[in-house]
Structure 1
Amino acid sequence: MTPGARRRSRKTGPDVDDAWLAGVAQDVSAAAGDVPVDLLGDFLPLLADAAVNGRRPRRSELEAVEALGRRAAELGVSAGSAVQLYLSASWRLWRELPVVVRSTDSEVVRAAAEAVMHVVADAVAILAEGYNSARRQMVRREETLRRELVDDLLRGDADVGGVVERAEPFGLDLARPHQVGLAAPRRRLPDVDAATSSLERIVLDRLGDRDVLVATKDGLVVVLAPGESEAPGRMDLGSLMRAELDRLPRGRPWQVAVGRAYPGSYGIARSYEEAREALAMASRLHLDTPVIRAEQLLVYRVLVRDQPAIVDLVNAVLGPLRTARGGAEPLLATLETYFATGDVATETARQLHLSVRAVTYRLGRIKTLTGYDPTDPGHRFTLHTSVLGARLLGWPGDGTTDGA
C-alpha cells in the first residue's frame, strides 16, 4: 500500500476504498521493478476520486506530485521510468475500476475516462517538471563541485584527505599518475564553453570516463587525464586535444601544452604548472608549435633559473646591437630566424621577406658589433643561447636587462 493510500481513510465512492486501492498498489509495485512505488504518493486515490466524482486535483495535491518528481531525480530514477510508473498505475487502476467494470452506461464510462485522463495529464506534466527542476539543480551543484575540485587540484590544496574524498565521486584515483593538458586560443574565440563540451565528449570516448576531468580556467581549456603510461598505444593527450579543437568552427588556431605525469594530488598541480609555464614560454619565444610538451622546454627553464647570469650574458653579447641603426630588434630577429632555419641564409631571407644579400649584410653587422660570427660553429652556441635568453627576458623591448 502506498503512503497516500494509508493516509486516506474515507471512501471515494462505492466499492472504491483503501483496501481496493491497496490491491492496485500491490499490482503496480510488482510490475515496477527497481522503481520505488512510494513515488506514486496519493496518485491512485486522485485517479479514483476523479473517476467517481469527476474532481480535478487541487493545487496542493499537484505540488505533492511535483515534489515526488524531484524525489525521483534525487534517487537516480530515470525520467522515463518515473513516467512509466504513473502510466502503468493509471492503466492498472482503470482496468479494475468498479465504476467502469460494472457500469452499463457508456456516458458514465466516458465521463470517468475524461476525468481520469485529465488527472493523468496534469500529474505526469507536473511530475516531469519537478524531475527536470531537480536535475537542473543537481547539474548546477555538480558543476560547482567540479569547478571547485579542479581549482583545488590545480592549486595543490593542502587538505589532501579532503581532496581525495571529493575526487572519488568524479572517478579520480589520485594515487595514479595524472597529467594536465592546457589549450589556449591564439586569438579570442566566441565560446570557450562550446570547445570544452566538444573536447569533453571526445576525451571521455577515447580515454574512458574515469580519471578524466575537462574544465576551463582563466580562459584556458583544462584536461586532466591519466598518465600516458597508464594507457599504452593510445593517442597522446596533446595530439588528441589539438585534433578535436581544430575541428571546431572558427576553432583555429589553438596551442596545446601538456605537463608531465606525476602521481598524487600534488602531482596534478605540478603537471599543471609545467603546462602553464610551457604556454608562457612559447608565447615569449614566439613558438608556433601546435603541441608543446613540458619536457621539450626544460632547457629554457634552465636558462631562466639563474636570471642574473642570463641577464649578464645577454648584455655582454648582444648589448652592442643597441647601437645599430634601427636598434637591436631587426638584427636579433635575423639571428633568431637564422638559427631556426639551420643556418640557411636563403630560407632566412624568405621567412623575413628580405633579399639574401640583406641577410648576409645583417650577419656581417652582428659580427662587427658583437665580435661573434653567426656563421662560425664556435661562436654559434654563445650567440644562440644569448638570443634565447633575450626572448625569455623580453630584451630589448622592455629594458629588463638594462643596468643588470
Structure 2
Amino acid sequence: MDELLGGHLRVLREAAATGRLPGRAELDDCRAAGALAAERGASARALVEAALAMAELVSPTPLPALRRTVSALMEGYENAQRSALRQEEAARREFVDDLLQGRADRLAERAEHFGLRLAETYVVAVARPAGAAGAAGAAGDAGSAGVAGAGVATAAPAAAPEDGGLAGEAEGTARRIEEALVARFGSHNVLVAVRDGMLVCVAPGSLTVANGEFTHHVRQAFAPGWRVGLGRAHRGPGGVVTSYREGANAIELGDRLGLRAPVLKAADLLVFPVLLRDRTAIEDLVTSVLSPLLEARGGPEPLLATLEAVFASQGNQTAAARRLGVSTRAVTYRLERIRRLTGFSPDDPTQRFTLETAVLGARLLDWPAHPLH
C-alpha cells in the first residue's frame, strides 16, 4: 500500500510546508492510486487507514489537504469498483446469451466462473410477468421441438422491448431473486438472468426445491398474471438450451390453450408439440370436425368455449356451466347444437377424444381467428 500512496504523502508534506491545497494534477494522481488499490483487491477500509496513517507522519497535519486527497482516493477506488461491476455484468449477459443460444465458445470454462458445472443435469425455469405475452415465443427457433419449432409461435427476439416484459427493473429483480437463492442454495447452484423479456433460472436437476423457491420469489416480485414455465432436466450445455426452450414454450402453450395454472411443466404438455409436428394432420382434423361450427348463430367461439369447459370439468355439465357463468340448461343446449352441426358428441368416448383433440388443435393454431388453408 505504501508504494501506492507515496504521492499522497508527498502532497500532504507540501501542503504542510506551503499551506497550498493540492491541485488537479495531484488529485488525479490520488484517484489513480485509489483505482489501482481497487484493482489489486485492497479493501476501502485498508486504503483509508493507510492514508490516515501516512497523515500522522506529517506535522502539523494539513486537514483540508487530507480531506481532499482521501476524497480523491475514494473517488478513484469507487470508480474502479463500478467499472469492474459493469464489466462483470456485461460478461454475465454475454455468457447467458451464449449459454441459452448454444454457442459453445469456451462455454464450460466460462460457466465455472459463474458457478455452473455443465457436465451435470440442469433444469431451466422461465418466468414471464403479466402483460408480457409474446415474449415466450422468442425462445424458439427452427431447431426447437416446442411450439415455436412447429411454426406456431415465431416471435423473434428483436420484437421484444429492450428490457422485455420486465422493463428497466429487470436486472434489479434478477439480482434480488438470485441473492435470495444463493443465500439458501449456495453460489455454485443457481444462475438467474434476464433473457427475451423473461426471468430465467438455471439450477441443477437434483435441486428440485430450487424451482419452488424461484417461483415463490417470482410470485412476490410480479403482479398477478405472471407465469412460470419449467423445462425438463437435461444434461450439458445443449441440455440447458433445450430446457430453456421447453420452459418458454410451456408458457406459450398455456397462453394459447387458455390454461389457468400459473406454473406450467413442459413434462405435462408433451402431447401438444407431438400434435403440432404433423401440422397438416392437425389442420385437417380441425377443419373436418369443427368447421361446421362456423355456421352457428353467434359464431363458433361460444361453442368452442363450452366444449373446453366440459372437457375441463370431466364431462360434468353443472361444473362446466359454473365455469362459463351460464345455466346448465344453456350448456346442454349448446352441446346438442354441437352434435347436430358436427356429428360428434362428447358423451361418446371415441367422439369425445376426437372433439377434444380438435379443440386443442384449434387453440394451438388460433382457429378460427386465423383461417386454415
User: Under TM normalisation by the shorter chain, which class is it?
Assistant: 0.7 to 0.9
RMSD across aligned positions (CA)? 1.9
Post-superposition CA distance 1:209-243 (Å, at most 9, x none): 1242222122111122222x1x3xx6241x32221
Once the two structures are superposed, residues 233-263 of structure 1 have per-residue CA deviations (whole angstroms, 9 ceiling, x without a partner) of x6241x3222112223x62231001112222
Match of 2:99 in 1: 153
State the distance in 1 between where 2:4 and 2:124 align. 43
Distance 2:231 2:278 in 1: 22
CA distance in 2, matches of 1:254, 1:195: 14
Matched, 1:338 2:284: no
Native 8 Å contact 1:183 1:241 kept in 2: no
Aligned equivalents of 1:281, 1:166: Cα separation in 2: 33
Q: Which is worse superposed, 305-314 or 183-192?
A: 183-192
Spell out the pairing of 1:201-280 with structure 2 (5 A cutoff).
201-227=179-205, 229=206, 231=207, 235-237=209-211, 239-248=212-221, 251-280=223-252
Corresponding position of 2:116: 172
CA separation in 2, counterparts of 1:171 and 1:40?
Answer: 36
User: What residue in structure 1 maps to residue 346 of structure 2?
Assistant: 374
Structure 1 gaps, min length 5 = 1-35, 95-99, 101-111
TM-score (norm 1): 0.79
Q: Within 5 A, what are the aligned runs for 1:294-313?
A: 294-313=266-285
Give SS of 2:250's match.
helix
Judge conservation of contact 1:275–1:293 (CA < 8 Å) in 2. yes
Identity %: 45
Shift of 1:307: 1.1
Q: Secondary structure at the match of 1:252?
A: coil
3-state SS of paired residue (1:39): coil
8 Å CA contact 2:181–2:210 kept in 1: the answer is no
Report the counterpart of residue 186 of structure 1 in structure 2.
Answer: 130
Gaps of 5+ in 2: 133-165
Q: TM-score, normalised by structure 2?
A: 0.85
After superposition, give the CA deviation of every residue in 1:308-353 in whole Å (9 maximum; x if it has no partner). Answer: 1111111122222122222221111100111011111111111111
Q: Does residue 1:357 correspond to 2:329, yes or no?
A: yes
Residue 209 of structure 1 aligns with an amino acid whose one-letter code is S
Tell me what 1:63 maps to: 28
**CA distance in 1: counterparts of 2:70 and 2:115, whole angstroms:** 34
Q: Aligned pairs, how many?
A: 339
Distance of 1:251 and 1:81 partners within structure 2: 44
Q: Quick one: distance in 2 between partners of 1:286 and 1:393? A: 13
> How far apart, CA to CA, are the structure 2 residues paired with 1:194 and 1:345?
47
Distance 1:185 1:336 in 2: 26
Are 1:87 and 2:65 an aligned pair?
no
Report the residue type matching 1:362 in the other structure. Answer: R
Deviations 1:79-137 (A, max 9, x none): 2221122123323x25xxxxx5xxxxxxxxxxx23x2x222211110011001111111
Larger RCO (alpha carbons 8 Å, 6+ apart) = 2
